[in-house]
Structure 1
Amino acid sequence: MNYSNHTQIKLGFILFLLFFSCKKDKRNQNLTGLNLLRGELQLCGTGQFGDINFSESCSYETRETFNLAIALLHSFEYVEAEKAFVKVIDQDPECAMAYWGVAMSIYHGLWAPPTPSVLTKGKKLIAISKKLPKSEKATQYIEAIGAFYDNWKTIDNQTRKEKYARKMLEMYQKYNDDTEVSVFYALALRASALPTDQSYLKQREAGKILEELFKKEPNHPGIAHYIIHSYDYPELAKLGLSTARRYANIAPNSAHAQHMPSHIFTRLGLWDESISANLRSAESAICYAESVAPGAHWDEEVHAMDYLVYAYLQTGNNKLAYEQYKYLKSFKEIFPPNFKIAYTAAAIPARLAVENKNWYEAAQLNLLQNLDIEWNKFPWQTSLLHFAKALGNIHLNNLEAVQNELNVLHAAKQKLTIINDDYKANQVAIQIKTIDAWLNFKNGHTDKAIELMKTAAEMESKTSKHPVTPGEILPADELLADMFLMLKKPQQALNYYELNLKKHPNRFNGLYGAAVSANQLGNKNKALKYFNLLIQQSKKSDSDRPEIAEANTFLNQYVP
């Protein structure tokens, strides 16, 4: 090689390095301020999250990581999904779909609306991805989620979710033979459903699409997961039972995949299955927390605990239910301090008190302070505890204290109304109506009390359950039945207990109330039926609930 050629090659190499360096600097500048999550993936177990083959991933070298990121995304393992997509970005900065993946990882359509910082991040990610080379299908994916992030300062969350769903519909109509397009469309459709729409048209349509896909791809985590979310309603839950029993095995290393089947089990009153699912979920969540933040507790563990306590209470197992509460009170650090943790921290003590009709305990409740929760940011969650306190004080005749709790509930409703969170404002409105009803009852205005309680029950019947909760602190129908029973009107009480049991199968207090009402009516066969059910579902718990003792005493009268 002569000197001239050597100089040209060297010069060319230097120019290449300068070009690459400038390009790299430009890319880094594009990513500045995005707070992308990086680091080694923390996957407990063997990293099994189901089978994914996403056709719009980028370079061959990143395909395995990209598919893992999609699998994690489909099981709502959002943090690890983002880290996996960022690994793809770091390895292949020109991969437009990796930026899409991060934007999808921070879009939690079924949960609380994103914060401004999240929306800003999403919009920047979409802007970067739009400038990169990509296929026509990738362009449509990016434009679809971009519709959610566009104009977020002026367009409300629900409208933007609907815009995203319409864009995904266009994709689905064009690529309905593409599994991932179909799955993401079904999720977008389900997420856009209004909680007040009890026709469940969107949920049914999403479920129909997913069920057809599940026949072809029985090990796909997103298909199974979103079937459960589509059918997480009393009227639809049976449609999701077989899938619920399979999902945990599809993604065994996902804490959320272990928990999610319990949504269906709870709808159907299958308490033993719910308990098993949430014990596995909590164990998986603890494993994850030990990897990323030793000594802290992840929100998936806390979320599982709420469902555990609810299921334990329905089996009459106060011992294990209170152990969960004691354990929660021992926590010193949680992550992230979000709406799920706030809900559980308020709901568990409220449930324990009012489900047991321990009115003194209910009246003494206070928000947990050992957890890093800014309670003023969670008016709906705090209302759960103040609702329980109000009920406790009513039954103790501390009516002045009840008014104080009502004032807190009205303030919570006003906060939610101001921020246009109509669903949660309505939930608090139901609580207010219920407390008004019981106040009137205590003051001897029984006709007014029944009227108000019927209104509360009707309001509740028209509102779907939020995915964060296994159920209301106390169902309005059940409280109305309790009121009729106290008025010595067992037929009306039985009617409402049975109505409530259709919506909340195998609730402990519902079964007990129905049995007592039937017995007072002289309907021994129906009393036997409900007392037997109560005994059957509590037989594994060694329950010390007085209702169980009463049931056994009644049943022993009819043993040959």
Structure 2
Amino acid sequence: MAETKFIGNIQKELTGKYDEVTCSSSECLQLINDALLQLFNFNHDQTILDCKKALTIDKDCIMAHYLIAYSNAGHYNNLDGMDYREGYEEAEIASSLAKRITLTDWEKGLIEAQVHRFCSPVGSVPLGTLNKNYANAMRSVYSKFGENNVVVAALFAESLMNLAPWKLWTPYPEYKEGIPETGELVKVLENALKQSPQHPGLCHFYIHTMELSATPEKALPCADALRETIKDHGHLLHMASHIDMWVGHYKEATEVNELAILADKRYMLTSKVENNFYKMYRMHNFHFIVWAAMFNGQLGKSLEFAEELQEYSNLEGVTAMLGNIPFGMTYSEPTRVIIWEVLIRFGKWEDILKRPIEQNKELYPSNIAMARYARGVAYAALGKVAEAEVERDLFYESLKNKTLAKRRIMNSYMYNPETPGKCILDVADSVLNGEIEYRKGNYQQAFDHLRLAVKRDTSLVYGEPWSWLMPTRHVLGALLLEHGDVQEAEAVYRDDLIQYKDNMWSLLGLHQSLKAQNKLDEAQSVYEKYQKASVLADIKVGASCLCATKMCS
């Protein structure tokens, strides 16, 4: 028989209209609804666990098979999926059951469409082709049921998102539609959100869709909906900050990630599931809160969570992850570099020089390279040019480590000699050279290096957090100001405030550059904005980069 229960045991107002799911018992149905909410939370491992438990109650629970297949296929953050072989098998079971079990028409549509996501043998059809075929099949399902079924709308939207993860729009500053389906995706989500403005899946997917666009603020109601209604699903909570950061709400981004971290800690206490893909999302929350706190000028909070991430991704943790996540080290090891970025952001030069450097070149290539970069910047800021040049040589030596090749932060690789200038450590290269040449008095060379750093930084593949946490314009602007190039500094800060709205660092720099040009009325107006933006700062700030030591003394 079919019973109706709203998704995830949360309020009807949260999810809106939800059609019946065919199930044999209320207990089984509850598990399916919980599984679907975890699917929208991108906790696919838990979705599978819930569905397998449901199958112990009802071996013919067709939506359990459907969701297991769904969760094993690729998704926005992992197109390779978890287990396409199990996905294919479960999709076939669901398809077979659909021929002999009475189902709702929309369930049949989803099951028939999902067959197009898989092939046998696995790998015999390119994933891009499978994703395209599946999206086309889901378009047909949506045309029949999507206007009145927000779950169908959400799943169709996700099929469109998976056609071009993180490339739905062309990069800053163009923001054009990245694929022909982008406009369709926006329309599907916006129409469904009119019916169910707080639906967790719709809100999650709309945030991902609009965060890369020229108008991320359009998704702020979705961010607020998740912030206000989700309590125990950490990744959904965290998603609010993907919009917060692009509308200048750095305080809110910090707060919601703290809530997400607590939610995931509660989840861990009950689930005991540690080494799975969802661990990556838990690490992501720490990474994100550091990024946001740095924009707030919060040294204490930035250090607290950067150090906690160090512990969370220690040798035992990352090697354990490798058991269940083949590419675990690829992502987890590079996140440890953020401690160096925090120390640079807040001008902790002596702390940088005292901090131990990882010695295992096979496990920690990203950290070794960033340590050398940070030490070079620290020595340069302290006026010790010879020592900085030694660290620069060691930095270049670290780039020869072949294990760097596949390491990445979000969507940008740490280093790849085959794509010069396109990677994270290429940004470091330009900044380090700029810092050293500046201390040597070679100002034209220094600023050329730093302008290149800005170009490389802003051209990194879109990711959140941005793969380079401290905007390089903050370095360029501060040293231009210190050198007396106030007009270019003003332009640099205005550009940065377009990308990172109302950030305290560029507001300070803009105020200083305007004041230096005797533009006193605007300087005062900007200073008032700076005071508001820096209310959480726990350090004294003299420049947008503390490497401008004359301004910070």
TM range (shorter): 0.7 to 0.9
Indicate yes or no: 2:315 matched with 1:305. no
**Conservation of the 8 A alpha-carbon contact between 1:241 and 1:265:** yes
**Conservation of the 8 A alpha-carbon contact between 2:372 and 2:394:** no
Larger gyration radius, structure 1 or structure 2: 1
CA shift, 1:483, in A, is: 4.9
CA shift, 1:217, in A, is: 1.7
* In 1: Cα distance, 2:413 partner to 2:112 partner: 29
**Conservation of the 8 A alpha-carbon contact between 1:317 and 1:542:** yes
* In 2: Cα distance, 1:191 partner to 1:386 partner: 38
**Cα distance, 1:356–1:204 mapped onto 2, change above 3 Å:** farther
**Conservation of the 8 A alpha-carbon contact between 1:86 and 1:98:** yes
* In 1: Cα distance, 2:125 partner to 2:333 partner: 27
CA shift, 1:412, in A, is: 6.5
**Cα distance, 1:320–1:476 mapped onto 2, change above 3 Å:** closer
Structure 2 match to 1:342: 332
Deviations 1:104-129 (A, max 9, x none): 223452213436x6233323333443
* In 2: Cα distance, 1:488 partner to 1:189 partner: 50
* In 2: Cα distance, 1:213 partner to 1:474 partner: 37
Gap regions ≥5 residues in structure 2: 1-6, 171-175, 322-327, 547-553
Gap regions ≥5 residues in structure 1: 1-42, 551-560
**Conservation of the 8 A alpha-carbon contact between 2:358 and 2:367:** no
**Conservation of the 8 A alpha-carbon contact between 1:453 and 1:480:** yes
**Conservation of the 8 A alpha-carbon contact between 2:21 and 2:29:** no
CA shift, 1:466, in A, is: 1.6
The amino acid across from 1:399 in the alignment is: E
**Cα distance, 1:365–1:473 mapped onto 2, change above 3 Å:** farther
Deviations 1:44-63 (A, max 9, x none): x9877953735454445533
**Cα distance, 1:527–1:384 mapped onto 2, change above 3 Å:** farther
**Conservation of the 8 A alpha-carbon contact between 2:51 and 2:67:** yes
**Cα distance, 1:89–1:261 mapped onto 2, change above 3 Å:** same
Q: TM-score, with normalisation over the residues of structure 1? A: 0.75
CA shift, 1:323, in A, is: 2.6
Indicate yes or no: 2:59 matched with 1:98. no
Structure 1 match to 2:110: 141
Indicate yes or no: 2:504 matched with 1:508. yes
CA shift, 1:402, in A, is: 1.7
- Within the candidate set 208, 228, 234, 1:255 is matched to 234
* In 1: Cα distance, 2:380 partner to 2:543 partner: 22
**Cα distance, 1:329–1:176 mapped onto 2, change above 3 Å:** closer
CA shift, 1:492, in A, is: 1.1
**Conservation of the 8 A alpha-carbon contact between 2:430 and 2:452:** no
Indicate yes or no: 2:423 matched with 1:429. yes
* In 1: Cα distance, 2:31 partner to 2:509 partner: 54
Identity, in percent, stands at: 17
The amino acid across from 2:295 in the alignment is: Q
Structure 2 match to 1:472: 468
Helix, strand or coil for the counterpart of 1:539? coil
* In 2: Cα distance, 1:387 partner to 1:149 partner: 45
CA shift, 1:245, in A, is: 0.9
**Conservation of the 8 A alpha-carbon contact between 1:244 and 1:260:** yes
CA shift, 1:101, in A, is: 0.4
**Cα distance, 1:321–1:292 mapped onto 2, change above 3 Å:** same
**Conservation of the 8 A alpha-carbon contact between 1:501 and 1:507:** yes
Helix, strand or coil for the counterpart of 2:423? helix
* In 1: Cα distance, 2:282 partner to 2:293 partner: 16
The amino acid across from 1:502 in the alignment is: I
CA shift, 1:183, in A, is: 0.8
CA shift, 1:457, in A, is: 3.3
Structure 2 match to 1:239: 218
Deviations 1:168-216 (A, max 9, x none): 3333234332322211111222232354541145555423322221221
**Conservation of the 8 A alpha-carbon contact between 2:206 and 2:219:** yes
CA shift, 1:86, in A, is: 1.4
- Within the candidate set 485, 491, 496, 1:489 is matched to 485
More helix by share: 1
**Cα distance, 1:318–1:379 mapped onto 2, change above 3 Å:** same
**Cα distance, 1:269–1:93 mapped onto 2, change above 3 Å:** same
* In 2: Cα distance, 1:382 partner to 1:113 partner: 30
**Conservation of the 8 A alpha-carbon contact between 2:377 and 2:435:** no
**Cα distance, 1:493–1:286 mapped onto 2, change above 3 Å:** same
**Cα distance, 1:495–1:154 mapped onto 2, change above 3 Å:** farther
Pairs within 5 Å for 1:24-173: 50-51=14-15, 53-55=18-20, 57-59=22-24, 61=26, 62-107=28-73, 109-114=75-80, 118-134=83-99, 138=107, 141-142=110-111, 144-150=113-119, 153=123, 160-173=130-143
* In 1: Cα distance, 2:94 partner to 2:474 partner: 52
Indicate yes or no: 2:192 matched with 1:213. yes
Structure 2 match to 1:457: 454
Q: Report how many residues are paired.
A: 498
CA shift, 1:283, in A, is: 1.5
**Conservation of the 8 A alpha-carbon contact between 1:306 and 1:470:** no
**Conservation of the 8 A alpha-carbon contact between 1:394 and 1:439:** no
Structure 1 match to 2:260: 281
CA shift, 1:455, in A, is: 4.5
**Conservation of the 8 A alpha-carbon contact between 1:94 and 1:133:** no
The amino acid across from 1:324 in the alignment is: F
**Conservation of the 8 A alpha-carbon contact between 1:363 and 1:391:** no
**Cα distance, 1:298–1:413 mapped onto 2, change above 3 Å:** closer
CA shift, 1:499, in A, is: 0.4
CA shift, 1:362, in A, is: 4.4
The amino acid across from 2:462 in the alignment is: K
**Cα distance, 1:367–1:76 mapped onto 2, change above 3 Å:** farther
Structure 2 match to 1:356: 346
Pairs within 5 Å for 1:217-232: 217-232=196-211
